[in-house]
Each structure stands twice: as C-alpha cells, then as structure tokens.
A and B are shown apart, each in its own frame.
Chain A
C-alpha cells in the first residue's frame, strides 16, 4: 500500500524519539506530538539550512468545521505555522498535529516519488483533489487507487494512521480487534480500543479496515529481514 513503506521507515528510524510509553500501561506506546514536533523541526533546520527555524501550532475556529488542520510554509520565514481546529477533542488534536508534522517532513525532503506539488495559484485544484481523495478514504473504499499525482494530504493521512499503532503494539491491536471486537466477546468495542491508544475512534476503524492487513505483512517482512 502506498505510504506504508514510509511509515515503517519513520517508525524504525525514530523508535525512541517520537514514541513514548503510555503512563497507565507501559506496554503500550503512543506517537508523542511534542517529541515529533522537535524531531521534525530539527530535520527541517538541516534540510532548509536554517538553524533558527521553529514550528508554532495555533488554534483557529474554522466556520464550517470542514478542516481539522492546516500547515502554511512561507519561503524565507523562520516560523512554520500549523493551524489546529479549536473545536477538536484531545485525541483528534493529537492526530491532526501529527499529520501536519509528518506532512512537513514528507514535503521538505522530497521523500515521496511522484508527489504532486501545487503552486499558490492552483489552490482550488488542490482542494478539489484532496476533497475527493478524503471522501474515498472516509468511506474506507479499498478500491480507490492513488494515481501518480495522488493527493499528498491523503498520503500523510495514511502514514500517520499507521504510526498511531506503533510496531510494538500492532499484533496486540489485531488480537483485540479480531478476538474481541469482531467476535463480539466481552462487549469490547472500537471505542474501547481507541481509548486504549488515545486515538480517534474513526481512525481506529479506518486503520483496522484499510491498513492493518497490509501493515502486518510489512511488519513480518521487516522482522524476517532483521532476523
């Protein structure tokens, strides 16, 4: 699946940097947006050759609530701004910030082959393509194929969703999901699984339906290669 190899590269290379233990359950890990922000800032300082670069996350109330987060990069500026929808709960805020940070990381290093870039005068076309891609992802449409000019926003969304379920916990998520939720044992729901990992329920469902299977294949391949 497009994006998963990048997700694994990021997770492997930053294992002790961007993830932290869950204080109530030390066996569970979570993507830590503060650690990720510092990691991305330091990476961007090198790539952009700007030792003064900072990342600032600000709140904004989007009138239609159609956008959960945005990042704006201005050439020559020492600050990159991320705008977070102020109406979101803690789990969604964490997810959105991480998505925008990963987006900055992907964009700056040109890590994505064939990634489409949009000059400012094409912002309407960008919005149209991102809206269509997101609608397919919302419906959890496995048949949707990203073209060579796929939406960069959708790609970052897939990568962050995968990173929200760290390598160390992927099999546990699969076990809970299959044994308990799918077989309806113990009244355990997707909401409970989401609470365990401090993840939005929608993202938990999306991960399980769209990403989990392919992600576990990657995990097994990675373990074989390192065995």
Chain B
C-alpha cells in the first residue's frame, strides 16, 4: 500500500526535525546530553525529537528566559 500524503508529510517533517536537532547539538557543542523519557506513557521517537529540538531552540533564542527551580549557588 502506498503511503498517504499526510504520512509523507509527517516523514518529511520528522526528517527535517532530526536534521535541525543534529545541527543544533553540534553547533552548541554539548559534551553530554541526557534525558528522561516519560516513564509512564508510550511516546514516539518523533515526539521526543520534537521536544528536544524545542528546548534547544528555546536555549538558542533566549537562554535567560527559563524560570529557575533550584540552584546550588550560594550553598
């Protein structure tokens, strides 16, 4: 069965996101990236890639915009 147009669009978008994410990871030169994928739900690789990409883009756009939850500074 041939893929539908929406399936082709999704695959294309997914590939584009993967390429963007790889580029940002290299550009930002992280020596280590670790994550915890939601342990209590089923998630797809595409959803994870989108989420990581969203964080990387937010950091690139405005690294000071994040609300601090806790810091070891001054302790």
Which A residues are within 8 Å of any B CB, using their own CB? Answer: 33-34, 37-38, 41, 54-60, 62-75, 83-84, 86, 93, 96-97, 99-100, 103-104, 107, 117-118, 120-121, 123-124, 126-128, 130-131, 134-135, 137-138, 152-153, 156-157, 200, 202-203, 206
Contact = CB atoms under 8 A, between A and B. Distances in A.
B47 A66 contact: yes
Interface string B37-75: 111111111011111101100110000001111111101
A46 B63 CA distance: 27
A81 B8 CA distance: 36
A127 B68 contact: no
A134 B26 CA distance: 25
B48 A99 contact: no
A25 to B, nearest CB: 24
Contact of B70 (A57, A73, A75, A104): A57
Contacts of B36: 67-70, 96, 99-100, 153, 157
Taking chain A's interface residues, is the majority helix, strand, or loop, or is none over half, making it mixed? helix
Contacts, number: 166
Contact of B32 (A66, A97, A99, A107): A107
Contact of B71 (A54, A70, A124): A54
Given A64-B43, A67-B35, A124 B49 contact: yes
A138 B39 CA distance: 6
A73 B54 contact: no
Given A67-B35, A68-B39, A107-B32, A62 B72 contact: no
A134 to B, nearest CB: 4
5 contacts: A56-B71, A64-B51, A72-B33, A73-B32, A93-B69
B43 to A, nearest CB: 4
Nearest to B19: A124
Nearest to B43: A66
